[in-house]
DNA sequence: GCAATTAAGTTCAATGATCAAAGAAAAAAA
DNA sequence: TTTTTTTCTTTGATCATTGAACTTAATTGC
């Protein structure tokens, strides 16, 4: 007993070898700025209390940030009660920077222009298609989107300070390389470097599901949660995860593939080649597989899967029992997939989004009830489920987040330099 | 298009509302101390380079920590090469504190005494049983364990500075309350407060799987990973998750229940009442269900499930094909469960531990190969799997981690106070 | 209408953590 | 023995932050 030794100790000592991120804290100016942005408006005294800093520091920091044009005072008339000197609200200067967020997909591209506060100033879409394209073609499409935004918002391209793009695929964020993407002909495409040749501003790319998750963290219901999950149901079924207020990306940047978790040993064949994947029961090809049996298609037989699915949904809504069963079955598998997320991760909230959310049969009360049964134990609180009405713009909005975030870090750092 | 608004914005502003943990960084003294502990030994100059602080700061911090009795210089003779003045290694003073880690279970309790560096000085076990007991009985057993450790290590109880306990159940860490535990008669037992009545030292309690995960993070293969998962196969199947060097506990403190993820829609009945849980194929009752069919039991019929399982394993090892099939089938379901973890979290490493790891049929090459097939895509790197030889002491060792960690924080903070 | 009260914001000397630079110490190499 | 190299220490300087006193601007009560 005395000679117990931990089987595979790595070297001497104990404790984690890698410094946790908490090692280097954000500077006071950045914290202050972020707090004001998060609250929309906040007085110096409010921020001082929240960040537990002295009033003097608040004054100093504020004057620096105002001098750098990042914050501004707001003349706030509305004041019902309270004695003392009225507080002066501060807000982020919206025009301090402009940022573009883009969602690329095979159906249509989507882009928004936001100001420094994240407000959407313009939004445009561009038809896309299923064909794989070259890097140059994609860059042309990106350029078109930016041009359209510039026109709509009546600004100049030079006013834009950064761009974020979410792509359906696998991304090396560090180097701005698209490792694999259904839209591109080639693998390992140097998107960010190529972008830098055309535009004089930084480009941030990431997986599109991650961008949507960031949208929820920055603008949506995730804002007041430290941990939550986002499930996207589109062509495939993806997942985004926020842990400790931070997007978790997994170790290989592949994205979290809820669609390829197995819900049935030796189950239905999935297009990934495996059997029993959730997607094999929830993907469009899975649903349309049985359309011919449920519906008398006639000439509709040759439509695209998407159209077939819409047709099936119409039928189900108008009472076709066979069509309903197809959705019902898919819903049951979805319930299993979601319950697995709850069991494995125990989040306080799962947000479901994506194009397919319009097929509300998937989220019938009975489906959610089923999920609840599958996760409920004596002790577990039920996990909240939020279903987002589908909107492409949200993805594009989320794509702007890394750009806004990096830009704020940089501008606040510049402010620290100059006010020394 | 212009009137796009995020559907459910929470108040004004944007960005996460809760400050991420990075807000308040660890003090330099604490960082310095942690670095020395993590490396076992380190010279001032090494630490200064690693933490990117000046040599002057290193000297100042070191002298404070030495004065407080937390660090000490080591006369290091071994020095092969190098010019200049030889560096003076520093190490944590092992005797600066003593800590006890305890794992409670229905088979046997287990406890270790460690010094301040985490070295195990003594280890003891105490038989347990399946009966539910009162808080007082459990406290008596804890007292016995501590007494035995004190005797073995020839120290006094007063020398112990903190205790950590891992229990199989659901725990409210904050308040030291055991919400539910298979060992206790009652729910919501105030273990830590009751402990405080008997002993004059802090008690830290947590779920046992979390404690094992901490053992891997502090002493095991997880030390050099920022993210990894630990899967425990015992009576049930549990999981621990480390994200960004920090143990992720889930939002309800229920523990991450890999055992109750569904691997088969409408599958085998689980003792939780659901169908298709992984545990329904991997738990002891699942394996022994078919023992009667595979083996001619005779009088062995009335043995405990554990013994039956050992019998089955012996049979399989000596070539019984039917017995082998039982393990083989369980192994296949385990492969599905693990592949789901990989798909959902994409960790670089999964460590498998727990009592059942001795049934190596579960981890036959074909099982791991199957798992690999189920997760492999064109782009995903295979996830490393490490199988820990089972050892109760590791769990107890991990139970000491929160105690050691909290103690270091406190002692270093005291050091900062005194050296002002 | 006028003091008293309350709270926000400002100013400024004091603090203290950290650093840069210079120097002392201890070894190997020339 | 001298030079080089690296570690460690010392010291004065710097800069972010605080605490406390002060100013400003409002409400409340007489």
Chain A interface, mutation test: which of B251, B258, B395, most A Cβ atoms within 10 Å?
B251
pLDDT in tens, A165-195: 999 999 999 999 999 999 999 999 999 999 9
Radius of gyration of chain A (CA): 25
Contacts with A21 from chain B: Cβ below 8 Å: 21-22, 244-245
- Cα A55 to the center of its chain, rounded Å: 36
| Tokens describing residue B215 | 């053992």
Q: What is the C-alpha separation between B394 and B232, in angstroms, rounded?
A: 12
Contact across the interface for A120 and B4, Cβ inside 8 Å: yes
Residue A293 CB neighbours (<10 A): 10
Bridge partners of A108, per DSSP, are: A127
Contact across the interface for B264 and A261, Cβ inside 8 Å: no
Q: What is the C-alpha separation between B241 and B249, in angstroms, rounded?
A: 8
Residue B391 CB neighbours (<10 A): 18
Contact across the interface for B1 and A373, Cβ inside 8 Å: no
Contacts with B274 from chain A: Cβ below 8 Å: 373-374
Nearest-CA residue relative to C1' of D25 = A85
Q: Which residue has the tokens 């006013």?
A: A159
The helix/strand/coil state of A405 is helix
Give the pLDDT confidence score for residue B301 in this predicted structure.
64
Give B161-179 as a DSSP string.
EEEEEEESEEEETTTTEEE
Which chain B residue has the Cα nearest residue A122?
Answer: B2
pLDDT in tens, B156-203: 999 999 999 999 999 999 999 999 999 999 999 999 999 999 999 999
Q: What is the C-alpha separation between B138 and B144, in angstroms, rounded?
A: 10
Contacts with B345 from chain A: Cβ below 8 Å: 241, 250, 256, 344
Give the pLDDT confidence score for residue B297 in this predicted structure.
66
How does residue A66 score in pLDDT terms, banded at 50, 70 and 90?
Answer: very high
pLDDT in tens, A276-302: 999 999 988 888 887 877 777 666 666
Closest CA to B223 of B32, B8, B27, B37: B37
- Our CA-based measurement puts residue A319 at a distance from the nearest CA of chain B, in whole angstroms, of 27
- Our CA-based measurement puts residue A252 at a distance from the nearest CA of chain B, in whole angstroms, of 7
Q: Which residue has the tokens 């020395």?
A: B36
- Our CA-based measurement puts residue B140 at a distance from the nearest CA of chain A, in whole angstroms, of 22
Q: Sheet containing A160-167: give its strands across.
A: A120-127, A108-115, A98-103, A160-167, A203-207
Contacts with A113 from chain B: Cβ below 8 Å: none
User: Contact, B44 vs B55, CB < 8 A?
Assistant: yes
Contact across the interface for A227 and B251, Cβ inside 8 Å: yes
pLDDT in tens, A188-223: 999 999 999 999 999 999 999 999 999 999 999 999
Contact across the interface for A22 and B19, Cβ inside 8 Å: no
Contact across the interface for A381 and B341, Cβ inside 8 Å: no
Q: Which residue has the tokens 């000596």?
A: B318
| Out of B16, B25, B344, closest to residue A22 by CB | B25
Q: What is the C-alpha separation between A157 and A150, in angstroms, rounded?
A: 6
Q: What is the C-alpha separation between B179 and B202, in angstroms, rounded?
A: 19
Say how far B68 CA is from C22 C1', in Å: 29
User: Contact, A198 vs A143, CB < 8 A?
Assistant: yes
Contacts of residue A102, defined as CB under 8 A and 6 or more positions apart, other chains included, come to A109, A110, A111, A142, A145, A163, A164, A165, A166, A396, A399
User: Contact, B307 vs B293, CB < 8 A?
Assistant: no
> Nearest 10 degrees: CA dihedral of B44, B48, B49, B51?
130
How does residue B215 score in pLDDT terms, banded at 50, 70 and 90?
Answer: very high
Which nucleotide is closest to the Cα of B89 by its C1'?
Answer: D7
Q: What is the C-alpha separation between B300 and B128, in angstroms, rounded?
A: 23
User: Contact, A241 vs B248, CB < 8 A?
Assistant: no
pLDDT in tens, A303-337: 777 788 888 888 888 888 888 888 999 999 999 99
């Amino acid at each position: 007993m005395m000679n117990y030794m931990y089987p595979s100790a790595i070297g001497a000592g104990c404790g984690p070898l890698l410094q946790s991120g908490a090692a280097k804290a954000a500077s006071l100016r950045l914290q202050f700025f972020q707090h004001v942005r998060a609250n929309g408006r906040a007085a110096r005294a409010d921020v001082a209390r929240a960040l537990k800093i002295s009033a003097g520091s608040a004054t100093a920091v504020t004057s620096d940030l105002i001098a750098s044009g990042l914050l501004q005072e707001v003349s706030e008339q509305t004041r019902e009660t309270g004695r003392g000197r009225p507080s002066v609200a501060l807000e982020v200067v919206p025009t301090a920077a402009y940022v573009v967020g883009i969602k690329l997909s095979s159906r249509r591209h989507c882009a928004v222009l936001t100001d420094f506060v994240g407000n959407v100033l313009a939004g445009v879409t561009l038809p896309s298609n299923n064909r794989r394209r070259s890097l140059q073609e994609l860059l042309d499409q990106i350029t078109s989107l930016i041009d359209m935004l510039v026109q709509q918002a009546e600004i100049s391209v030079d006013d834009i300070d950064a761009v974020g793009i979410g792509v359906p695929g696998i991304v090396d964020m560090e180097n701005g390389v698209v490792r694999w993407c259904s839209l591109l002909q080639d693998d390992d495409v140097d998107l960010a470097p190529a972008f830098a040749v055309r535009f004089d501003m930084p480009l941030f790319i990431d997986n599109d599901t991650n961008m949507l998750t960031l949208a929820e963290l920055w603008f949506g219901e995730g804002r007041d949660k430290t941990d939550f999950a986002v499930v996207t149901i589109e062509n495939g079924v993806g997942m985004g995860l926020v842990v400790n207020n931070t997007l978790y990306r997994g170790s290989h940047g592949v994205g979290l593939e809820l669609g390829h978790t197995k819900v049935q040993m030796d189950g239905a064949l999935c297009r990934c080649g495996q059997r029993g994947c959730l997607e094999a029961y929830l993907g469009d090809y899975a649903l349309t597989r049985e359309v011919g049996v449920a519906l008398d298609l006639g000439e509709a037989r040759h439509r695209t899967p998407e159209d077939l699915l819409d047709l099936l949904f119409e039928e189900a809504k108008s009472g076709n029992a066979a069509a309903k069963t197809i959705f019902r079955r898919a819903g049951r598998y979805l319930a299993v997939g979601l319950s697995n997320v709850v069991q494995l991760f125990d989040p306080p909230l799962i947000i479901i989004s994506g194009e397919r959310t319009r097929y509300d049969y998937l989220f019938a009360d009975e489906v959610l009830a089923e999920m609840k049964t599958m996760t409920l134990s004596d002790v577990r609180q039920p996990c909240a489920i939020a279903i987002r009405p589908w909107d492409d713009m949200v993805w594009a909005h989320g794509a702007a987040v890394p750009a806004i975030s990096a830009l704020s870090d940089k501008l606040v750092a510049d402010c620290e330099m100059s006010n020394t």
